Chain A
């Protein structure tokens, strides 16, 4: 491991400046994952709608923060003080579980981060975030799926399989590698006999529908073996509600923990587009951050021993304006925050080349300037945690990523 990655408080420019060279990285022995002693789980949670990173993790030590972010700024004191992180940054008080994981060295925060997308459309932003392409609309496949398709399966007991949570597969997991799907159960299951007859019909008339239905039935069977058919399987709330988030996390974790289960999962939580009455402290954003916090805790408890092998990345398409708008909310911005959580994460760190919030430091005089490429974070997780080859990253997972360097040292 390279000691330079450990970012202590005063020198938060250190990490990227001291970024490990590609050659040095490639020569580095990858002990645990490559040797197969670890059975890695990787989860990506997409927060759709653009999370206000400055209200989730506040740069309390930045002299311009409180003034610019106004009522939505976190503070070290007051009725709802921020949860202490490293002396410079504080965590939204709605996330005590994450703070606990942080103290246990199982959570890291990446700040002033963004994908390569620089416009402000949610949908294009999510497209770039999930597709891993240089721009929107380039492909119908996601980077996580392409990474799976390029994994060297030799030497593994079973190939790593993907799991899309929700009634439809998120773009990030669509693509050539076969992917399972799961969503909390609402309907009674049709019988096996009916399913067999329809599959036989599809084999004759519509193989594409046949593949999809067969995969859906397989996952359902696995979920039932894992005990998901009872209470946990029942839908309780939308993916913008704490109950829905927690339940999706419980179900996903149960499948990831299973011996023959999937190893890579993608979920999406909704409702982060806080243009009006944002409510960073006791309001809609606090409520959803609390939901996310509960979901992370649910992953931890339900994964059991597999938590030690787990890395969860919580990401969003872009950030929000540094100044609050005319309706106590924030409009679409650029730089934001990402959470890395799990027993496999080298935690208790804020990874940030902090750009500052002075007027002349903002991106286009309105947004937090992104100084870390989110794709480098993803690439670092793929390489060090799943063992995806750097060649595959450059060729296919993040094509046209330019000089994108997988961020080293994220994994214990």
Chain B
């Protein structure tokens, strides 16, 4: 591009690090692009969501109530028939979670099913009070949409969006998927607000400890029933280990798959975190759906992980292990590679990775320092704009550019799903991929075109399309893009061309 250095740097600030320009943002960023981002990092409470949303305990309590209500209704309806257990009845002693495993895929959410534009979410308690709710979205769908709405609104309204991009990055790093069951569907939004956001500019070790104790993660990665074979419960009930969470902590959350750990370490960590579960729905052990350590499920004794022996100490044993994992040099490197790959280039420049990893180590995992190091590095600004915006970045950037008003969560969720990035629903615990090859495939580009057209039709009254080009690219806009837009046959067509232009797609 023949753009001036200032114009390019402003574009990098908003597109590479943020969620794209709103009217006036480019000019605000141009004089001091680094300062523009640093100022957002410094705002008190910038990562917090202030919307009135239930915490995980309240949300899960309302889910449990709703499940009980549905069950009672079903039993009442079935009562006249004298029931022999159906052939499909689960075997006796099937775990509690079995009843939730068949959660319907309430999230198909084609645009046609989009909820009417709501001014804020339906408070779940109120919706529940009605004796016979009309057939409509299920409770977990309403809660999920309310969470989505708050998250979209925050991204669209953020000054630069750097902090929201960091939230999305860490949330994807510690991915849970709402396709698991109703519990995670309800818990995913609170998980991000309770385990990710408070620490996104805090310490990694604190985020890690919050994540691995959160009910949504404990259920998503199956730790909630993992029992030490030699624990009291293990000896009497023949229950045992489930190593899923322990493996992903090592492989995905901390050290990374290339680090030198072995199956023995996976098993040891699985033993160390036995008994990490959530309170059951009966409420006897505390509000349902909050973290609970069950000593009678915990594998007794000292356990050796990566050469360090952790003495018996209940929940503290696991917290000590997590604290050491957070400080492990392999963790610093693993996280640095992922951060640089996400923000800068599919092939992360090694020198920049080293800088970020060193900052992480020197600051004992201070994530605000890491974020500042990223924007202070020249390499992060000079790398060519080879990456393509992820689907959520693309959707939020269109909304920011055109000021479409309060987001319609049903529509946005449907669009995200169409583009292959359904919110909090990656195919596995490794989260969504982070490469241009994935998001710029033929099918993905075709879908982007359709989506750009759909959004452009709704945004056409917003103003002259070339004005929107000035908003999002300013002097960095290419002559080709400007001319192609100017020759368009309609305003929506010009806007769609803008949304598909390399200036808008690449970052």
Contact = CB atoms under 8 A, between A and B. Distances in A.
B141 interface: no
A167 interface: yes
Contacts of A332: 243, 247
Interface in A181-217: 181-183, 186-191, 193-195, 197-198, 200-202, 204-206, 208-209, 212-217
Nearest to B88: A282
Contact of B420 (A71, A166, A195): A166
Interface in B343-367: none
Given A188-B454, A197-B497, A331-B243, A283 B101 contact: yes
Contacts of A215: 442
Interface in A117-143: 119-124, 136-137, 140
A329 interface: yes
A208 B440 contact: yes
Contact of A327 (B179, B225, B229): B225
B499 to A, nearest CB: 9
Contact of B484 (A119, A180, A201, A279): A201
Interface in B422-452: 427-430, 433, 437-447, 449-452
Interface stretch (A3-11, A268-276, A349-357): A268-276
Contact of A186 (B110, B452, B501): B110
A235 B108 CA distance: 8
Contacts of B239: 326-327
Contact of B452 (A167, A190, A241, A271): A190
A200 B446 contact: no
Contacts of A325: 240-243
A49 B443 contact: no
Given A167-B443, A326-B239, A136 B257 contact: yes
Given A123-B257, A202-B502, A327-B239, A282 B90 contact: yes
Contacts of B429: 122
A196 to B, nearest CB: 11
Nearest to A195: B449
Interface string A57-99: 0000000000000010000000110000000000000000000
Given A194-B496, A209-B440, A220-B446, A241 B105 contact: yes
Most buried by B among A48, A213, A276: A276
B463 interface: no
Contact of A181 (B226, B417, B442): B442
Contacts of A283: 90, 98, 101
Given A71-B91, A123-B430, A209-B502, A277 B97 contact: yes
Contact of B98 (A124, A140, A186, A277): A277
B241 A326 contact: yes
Chain A: number of interface residues, binned into ranges: 35 or more
Interface string B216-245: 000001100111010000100001111110
B82 interface: no
A388 B341 CA distance: 36
A342 B454 CA distance: 40
B94 interface: yes
A234 interface: yes
Given A48-B428, A209-B505, A276 B222 contact: yes
Interface string B14-37: 000000000000000000000000
Contacts of B502: 201-202, 205-206, 209
A120 B262 CA distance: 10
Nearest to B422: A238
B84 interface: no
Given A120-B247, A219-B443, A326-B234, A197 B449 contact: no
A164 interface: yes
Nearest to B446: A216
Given A205-B480, A240-B179, A275-B222, A183 B443 contact: yes
Contact of B428 (A123, A180, A206, A236): A123
Contacts of A80: 87
Nearest to A239: B427
B257 A168 contact: no
Interface string B470-507: 00000000101100100111000100110011100110
A277 B101 contact: yes
B251 A121 contact: yes
A123 B415 CA distance: 26
Interface string B255-295: 00110000100100000000000000000000000000000
Interface string A370-409: 0000000000000000000000000000000000000000
A341 to B, nearest CB: 23
B446 A213 contact: yes
A77 to B, nearest CB: 14
Contacts of A190: 449-450, 452-454, 496
Contacts of B427: 48, 239, 268, 270
Nearest to B483: A201
A33 interface: no
Interface in B59-111: 87-91, 94-95, 97-98, 101-102, 105, 108, 110-111
Contacts of A229: none
A220 B449 CA distance: 12
B159 interface: no
A273 B478 CA distance: 48
Contact of A236 (B108, B225, B420, B446): B108
B460 interface: no
B404 interface: no
B189 interface: no
B306 interface: no
Contact of B443 (A181, A189, A206, A270): A181
Interface string B162-177: 0000000000000000
Given A277-B97, A332-B247, A168 B444 contact: yes
A276 B97 contact: yes
A187 B454 contact: yes
B111 A186 contact: yes
Contacts of B179: 238, 240, 270-271
Most buried by A among B95, B225, B440, B449: B449
Contacts of B433: 168
A202 B497 CA distance: 10
Nearest to A240: B179
B430 A181 contact: no
A187 B493 contact: no
Contacts of B266: 120
Given A71-B91, A206-B506, A238-B105, A188 B450 contact: yes
B336 interface: no
B314 interface: no
A297 B97 CA distance: 32
B79 to A, nearest CB: 23
Given A169-B443, A189-B450, A276-B95, A284 B480 contact: no
B102 A329 contact: no
A169 B441 contact: yes
B58 interface: no
A166 B439 CA distance: 12
B200 interface: no
A167 B105 contact: no
Nearest to B107: A238
B418 interface: yes
Most buried by B among A121, A202, A212, A284: A212
Nearest to B421: A167
B102 A284 contact: yes
A234 B98 contact: no
A364 interface: yes
Contacts of A217: 446, 449
B263 A168 contact: no
16 contacts: A167-B420, A168-B433, A168-B438, A168-B443, A187-B447, A201-B480, A205-B502, A208-B440, A219-B442, A234-B110, A276-B225, A326-B225, A326-B226, A327-B95, A327-B239, A327-B240
When A and B form their complex, which 5 residue pairs have the shortest distance between CB atoms, in order from nearest?
Answer: A326-B240, A167-B420, A181-B443, A216-B446, A190-B453
